[in-house]
Amino acid sequence: MSGKIFIIGIGPGSKEYLTVHAMECVKNCDYTVGSIRAIELFSDVQNKIPFNVKELVDKLKEGVELAIDGNKVAILSTGDPGFSGVLNTVLRISDETNFPKENIEVIPGISSLQLAAARCHIQWDNANVMTFHGRENIDDILPVINNGKITIALPSRKVKDMAQFLLDNGVDESRKVVVCERLSYPDEKIVESTLKDIANSEFTYMCIMIIY
C-alpha cells in the first residue's frame, strides 16, 4: 500500500516565514528529505534524509521509494515548490515509479520573489516574473525586458553575469536595478543601483534581481 508524499515549500530561508501547516506536516511525517539548511528550520523531525545539490535526484528517488513502501514522506523545497522548486522533479520520479498522483500533496510556501516584491512595494501580478535557476539559456528575458513592466528574476548564475548579459544585448546601462540579497536572513541586503553598476558588483547566489 502506498504512503503519501508532501512537497513542502519552506519559504525564503528564515523560520519566521514557515507556515504552520508546513511545520505540522513535517512533525507528522515518517521521513523528511531536504537540504541541511532546510531541515534545520524544523525542530521536530523524525528521520532526516539530507542532501546536497549533487545528491538531489538520488535523494528524491529515495523519498519516493519510502512512500511506495507505505511511509509518509516530507520533501522540502526552498521557497514555493512550484517556482524553481522540486515539484516537477518529484512528479517525474513518481510517474516513472507509478506512485499515484492522488497521494501527493503540495503545500505552498512563500517565495523569495514574493518577499522581494513586498520589500520593494511591487504589485507583482503585473510584473514579468521569471526564473533562470539551472538554465544556461537566458535569452527568454530579452523579449520582455522592454515591455513596460517591471521584471523580477531569479538569476541563472551570478547577478553581475545577468546584468552584463543585458548590457551586451543593448539594455540601457542606466536602467534602475534592485538586488535583494539573502532575503529574510539577519544579513539581508537590498541594493538599488544602475544596471552598469550592478554588472560591476559582487553578490552571493541567494539573490532576486528586479529590473525597472
Q: pLDDT, tens digit, for every residue of 163-178?
A: 999 999 999 999 999 9
Bridge partners, residue 75, by sequence: 7, 33
Q: Distance between CA atoms of 69 and 128, rounded to whole angstroms?
A: 42
What is the SS3 assignment for 51? strand
Cβ-Cβ contacts under 8 Å for 169 (sequence gap 6 or more): 142
Render pLDDT for 18-45 as a digit per residue (tens, 0 to 9). 999 999 999 999 999 999 999 999 999 9
Q: Which three cell numbers stand for residue 189?
A: 541586503
CA angle 47, 56, 78 (to 5 degrees): 80
- Same domain, yes or no, for 102 and 161? no
User: Counting beta carbons within 10 angstroms of the beta carbon of residue 14, is it exposed (0 to 12), middle (13 to 18) or buried (19 or more)?
Assistant: middle
Please tell me whether residues 75 and 93 are part of one structural domain.
Answer: yes
Question: What distance in Å separates the CA atoms of residue 150 and residue 88, rounded to the nearest whole number?
Answer: 27
CATH value at residue 79: 3.40.1010.10
**159, 179: one domain:** yes
Cβ within 8 Å of residue 193, ≥6 positions away: 176, 177, 179, 201
Domain shared by 47 and 74, yes or no: yes
Question: How many domains in the chain?
Answer: 2
Residue that is last in its domain, among 57, 92, 107: 107
In this structure, what CATH number is given to the domain that contains residue 163? 3.30.950.10
The whole domain housing 183 covers 112-211
pLDDT of residue 1: 63
| Cell numbers at 160, concatenated | 553581475
Do 147 and 171 contact (CB within 8 A), yes or no?
no
Q: What would the pLDDT profile of 124-158 be if each residue is shown by its tens digit?
A: 999 999 998 877 778 889 999 999 999 999 998 79
Mean pLDDT of 173-195: 97
Residue 148 CB neighbour total at 10 angstroms? 7
